[in-house]
Chain A
Amino acid sequence: MKNRIRELRTERGWTQADLAARLEVSRNSVNAIENGKYDPSLPLAFSIAKLFDLPIEKIFQRD
C-alpha cells in the first residue's frame, strides 16, 4: 500500500521521531510505514489521518 506520510510529515517540518512521539509508536514503525514495508492497523491509520486532519483515503492508496 502506498502512502503520503513522508510528504505530509516533511511539510510540517516534523522528524520521524516527532511523528512517532505524536502517534505513540516507535520511530522504526514510522520508518517502516513511510517506506511501504509495513501497513498500519486500522486504528493506527485512523490516528494518522486524525493527526494530519485528512481522510484516510487521502493518505493511503492501493498500489
Chain B
Amino acid sequence: MTRLSARSWRLLAAIGFWLLLAAAFMIGGVAGLLLGYASAIWLAAFSLGAWRRQDEFERAAQKFSWVFGGLFGLLGSLALLPLVLQPGMLDPLLALIDHALGGMSNPAAPAIVLGAIWIVLGQLIGFLLCWVGWHVTKQ
C-alpha cells in the first residue's frame, strides 16, 4: 500500500467520522449507537495515524490549538449556555437526538448527549479557529 501523508490521514479521519456519525443519526437505535462509538474509534485511530506522520511544526500547531483553542472553545460553549437554554431553543435538536437514540427509556438521555456534543463542538470550533490562526501567523 502506498504510504499516505499526514494530510491524507487527517482527511480520512474527518470524512469517515462525519459519515459514520451521520449514519448513526439516520439509523438510530442500538445499531446507531454502535455506529456512534465506531465513529469515535475511527476518528481516534486515524488521528493517531496522522499524528505519527506529521512533522514537529504541525505537531506544535496542534498542541497549541488544543490547549488554547480547546480552552477558549470550552469557555465559549459555557458562556453561550444561558442563550441556548431559553425555552424551546433546543427542542428540535433534542427531538433529533431522541430519535437517533431510539427513544431510550432514560428521559434525560437526549439532554446528556446534547450536552456532550455541545462541549465537544465548542472545543472543536475553538481548535479549528486557533489552528488556522496559528498557520496564518507563522507564514
Contact = CB atoms under 8 A, between A and B. Distances in A.
Interface in A19-34: 24-26, 28-29, 31-33
Contact of A25 (B55, B135, B137, B139): B55
A29 B57 CA distance: 6
B40 to A, nearest CB: 28
Contacts of B60: 38
B3 interface: no
Contacts of B54: 26
A41 B138 contact: no
A35 B54 CA distance: 21
Contacts of B137: 37
Nearest to B57: A29
A35 B60 CA distance: 17
A26 B57 CA distance: 8
A60 B139 CA distance: 19
A1 interface: no
A6 B131 CA distance: 26
Interface in B87-139: 135, 137-139
Interface of A: 24-26, 28-29, 31-33, 35, 37-38, 40-41, 44
27 contacts: A24-B55, A26-B54, A26-B55, A26-B57, A26-B58, A28-B57, A28-B58, A28-B135, A28-B138, A28-B139, A29-B55, A29-B56, A29-B57, A29-B58, A32-B57, A32-B138, A32-B139, A33-B57, A35-B138, A35-B139, A37-B137, A38-B57, A38-B60, A38-B138, A40-B56, A41-B56, A44-B56
Closest A-B pairs by Cβ, 4 of them: A29-B57, A25-B55, A32-B138, A37-B138
